[in-house]
Protein backbone atom coordinates (compact mmCIF):
# COMPACT_ATOMS: atom_id res chain seq x y z
CA UNK A 1 0.00 0.00 0.00
CA UNK A 2 2.83 2.35 0.87
CA UNK A 3 4.56 1.79 -2.50
CA UNK A 4 1.29 2.49 -4.31
CA UNK A 5 0.94 5.77 -2.42
CA UNK A 6 4.51 6.70 -3.31
CA UNK A 7 3.90 5.88 -6.98
CA UNK A 8 0.75 8.04 -7.00
CA UNK A 9 2.63 10.91 -5.37
CA UNK A 10 5.46 10.57 -7.91
CA UNK A 11 2.97 10.51 -10.79
CA UNK A 12 1.20 13.64 -9.53
CA UNK A 13 4.52 15.42 -9.06
CA UNK A 14 5.63 14.47 -12.58
CA UNK A 15 2.32 15.66 -14.04
CA UNK A 16 2.68 18.94 -12.18
CA UNK A 17 6.20 19.45 -13.56
CA UNK A 18 5.02 18.73 -17.11
CA UNK A 19 2.14 21.19 -16.76
CA UNK A 20 4.54 23.90 -15.57
CA UNK A 21 7.03 23.18 -18.37
CA UNK A 22 4.52 23.63 -21.19
CA UNK A 23 5.59 26.30 -23.63
CA UNK A 24 3.24 29.08 -24.68
CA UNK A 25 3.02 29.30 -28.49
CA UNK A 26 1.84 32.45 -30.29
CA UNK A 27 1.52 32.80 -34.07
CA UNK A 28 2.12 36.21 -35.69
CA UNK A 29 -0.36 36.40 -38.55
CA UNK A 30 0.31 39.22 -41.03
CA UNK A 31 -3.38 39.02 -42.00
CA UNK A 32 -6.16 36.46 -41.87
CA UNK A 33 -5.76 35.40 -45.51
CA UNK A 34 -2.03 34.66 -45.29
CA UNK A 35 -1.19 30.96 -45.53
CA UNK A 36 1.82 31.34 -43.21
CA UNK A 37 2.69 33.26 -40.06
CA UNK A 38 5.33 36.00 -40.12
CA UNK A 39 6.74 34.25 -37.11
CA UNK A 40 5.98 32.00 -34.18
CA UNK A 41 6.81 32.58 -30.54
CA UNK A 42 7.57 29.39 -28.60
CA UNK A 43 8.25 30.54 -25.06
CA UNK A 44 11.04 33.15 -25.22
CA UNK A 45 12.11 32.09 -28.72
CA UNK A 46 10.86 33.78 -31.88
CA UNK A 47 11.08 31.89 -35.19
CA UNK A 48 10.70 34.33 -38.08
CA UNK A 49 9.61 33.06 -41.47
CA UNK A 50 11.89 33.67 -44.43
CA UNK A 51 11.84 37.27 -45.62
CA UNK A 52 12.20 38.38 -49.22
CA UNK A 53 13.17 41.84 -50.41
CA UNK A 54 10.76 44.66 -51.05
CA UNK A 55 11.02 46.29 -54.47
CA UNK A 56 13.66 48.97 -54.94
CA UNK A 57 11.34 50.41 -57.60
CA UNK A 58 7.66 49.40 -57.38
CA UNK A 59 5.83 48.12 -60.44
CA UNK A 60 3.92 50.67 -62.50
CA UNK A 61 0.91 48.92 -64.07
CA UNK A 62 -0.04 52.10 -65.96
CA UNK A 63 3.33 52.11 -67.72
CA UNK A 64 3.50 48.32 -67.87
CA UNK A 65 6.78 48.15 -65.97
CA UNK A 66 7.66 45.38 -63.54
CA UNK A 67 9.04 45.96 -60.07
CA UNK A 68 12.81 46.09 -59.70
CA UNK A 69 14.29 44.27 -56.70
CA UNK A 70 17.99 44.86 -57.23
CA UNK A 71 21.00 42.62 -56.88
CA UNK A 72 21.94 40.28 -54.03
CA UNK A 73 23.34 43.13 -51.93
CA UNK A 74 20.18 45.25 -52.32
CA UNK A 75 17.86 42.30 -51.68
CA UNK A 76 19.86 41.21 -48.61
CA UNK A 77 19.73 44.73 -47.18
CA UNK A 78 15.97 44.91 -47.79
CA UNK A 79 15.30 41.49 -46.21
CA UNK A 80 17.47 42.35 -43.17
CA UNK A 81 15.62 45.66 -42.71
CA UNK A 82 12.30 43.77 -42.78
CA UNK A 83 13.64 41.34 -40.19
CA UNK A 84 14.82 44.24 -38.04
CA UNK A 85 11.34 45.83 -38.20
CA UNK A 86 9.57 42.54 -37.35
CA UNK A 87 11.91 42.01 -34.40
CA UNK A 88 11.30 45.57 -33.18
CA UNK A 89 7.51 44.99 -33.29
CA UNK A 90 8.10 42.08 -30.90
CA UNK A 91 10.39 44.02 -28.52
CA UNK A 92 13.56 42.46 -29.92
CA UNK A 93 16.56 43.67 -31.87
CA UNK A 94 19.22 42.20 -34.16
CA UNK A 95 21.36 41.51 -31.07
CA UNK A 96 18.75 38.93 -30.06
CA UNK A 97 19.20 36.88 -33.25
CA UNK A 98 20.88 33.58 -32.36
CA UNK A 99 20.52 31.70 -35.68
CA UNK A 100 20.17 32.80 -39.27
CA UNK A 101 19.60 30.76 -42.40
CA UNK A 102 20.19 32.43 -45.77
CA UNK A 103 18.97 30.97 -49.05
CA UNK A 104 20.75 32.37 -52.10
CA UNK A 105 19.90 31.91 -55.77
CA UNK A 106 22.34 32.54 -58.58
CA UNK A 107 22.16 36.05 -60.03
CA UNK A 108 21.35 36.08 -63.77
CA UNK A 109 23.36 39.32 -64.07
CA UNK A 110 26.41 37.41 -62.75
CA UNK A 111 26.08 34.44 -65.10
CA UNK A 112 23.84 32.70 -62.51
CA UNK A 113 26.69 32.65 -59.99
CA UNK A 114 26.15 33.06 -56.27
CA UNK A 115 26.92 36.57 -54.99
CA UNK A 116 28.11 35.78 -51.47
CA UNK A 117 30.06 39.06 -51.30
CA UNK A 118 26.80 40.95 -51.91
CA UNK A 119 25.17 39.13 -48.98
CA UNK A 120 28.18 39.83 -46.73
CA UNK A 121 28.20 43.53 -47.62
CA UNK A 122 24.66 43.89 -46.25
CA UNK A 123 25.04 41.39 -43.37
CA UNK A 124 28.02 43.24 -41.90
CA UNK A 125 25.91 46.41 -41.56
CA UNK A 126 23.81 44.62 -38.90
CA UNK A 127 26.14 42.10 -37.22
CA UNK A 128 29.63 42.42 -35.81
CA UNK A 129 29.54 46.22 -35.77
CA UNK A 130 30.73 48.58 -33.05
CA UNK A 131 27.10 49.32 -32.08
CA UNK A 132 25.93 45.70 -32.42
CA UNK A 133 28.87 43.29 -31.95
CA UNK A 134 26.76 40.11 -31.60
CA UNK A 135 26.95 37.62 -34.44
CA UNK A 136 24.43 34.80 -34.83
CA UNK A 137 25.21 31.26 -35.86
CA UNK A 138 24.55 31.27 -39.60
CA UNK A 139 24.10 28.94 -42.53
CA UNK A 140 24.08 30.14 -46.11
CA UNK A 141 23.07 27.77 -48.88
CA UNK A 142 22.68 28.12 -52.61
CA UNK A 143 19.34 27.01 -53.99
CA UNK A 144 18.26 26.43 -57.58
CA UNK A 145 15.50 29.04 -57.22
CA UNK A 146 13.29 30.73 -54.66
CA UNK A 147 9.49 30.90 -54.68
CA UNK A 148 9.41 34.39 -56.24
CA UNK A 149 11.03 34.32 -59.69
CA UNK A 150 12.88 37.59 -59.08
CA UNK A 151 14.18 36.61 -55.63
CA UNK A 152 17.91 36.15 -55.11
CA UNK A 153 17.83 36.06 -51.29
CA UNK A 154 15.54 34.75 -48.55
CA UNK A 155 16.55 35.07 -44.90
CA UNK A 156 15.00 33.47 -41.83
CA UNK A 157 16.08 33.97 -38.23
CA UNK A 158 15.59 32.65 -34.75
CA UNK A 159 15.76 35.21 -31.94
CA UNK A 160 15.62 34.74 -28.18
CA UNK A 161 14.30 37.26 -25.67
CA UNK A 162 16.93 37.79 -23.00
CA UNK A 163 15.88 37.56 -19.40
For the entire predicted model, the pTM comes to 0.83
Long-range contacts of 120-129 (CB under 8 A, 24+ apart): 121/73, 121/76, 122/73, 122/74, 122/76, 122/77, 122/80, 123/76, 123/80, 125/77, 125/80, 126/80, 126/84, 126/94, 127/94, 127/97
What is the model's pLDDT at position 32? Answer: 77
Is the CB of residue 38 less than 8 Å from the CB of residue 30? Answer: yes
Q: Which residues of 134-149 are buried (b: 16+ CB within 10 A; e: fewer)?
A: eebeeebeeeeebeee
What is the model's pLDDT at position 10? Answer: 57
pLDDT per residue rounded down to tens, the chain (163 residues): 566 665 666 565 565 555 556 788 888 887 778 888 899 999 999 999 999 999 999 888 998 888 899 999 999 999 999 999 999 999 999 999 999 999 999 999 999 999 999 999 999 999 999 999 999 999 999 999 999 999 999 999 999 998 7
What is the model's pLDDT at position 1? Answer: 55
Question: Going from the N-terminus, what domains does the chain have, and what CATH number goes with each?
Answer: 47-160 (3.30.1330.40)
What is the model's pLDDT at position 2? Answer: 63
Amino acid sequence: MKSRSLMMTAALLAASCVAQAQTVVKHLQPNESSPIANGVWAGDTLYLSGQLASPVTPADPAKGTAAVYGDTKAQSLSALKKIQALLKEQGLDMKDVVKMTVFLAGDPAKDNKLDFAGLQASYTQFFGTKDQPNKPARSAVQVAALAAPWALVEIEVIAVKSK
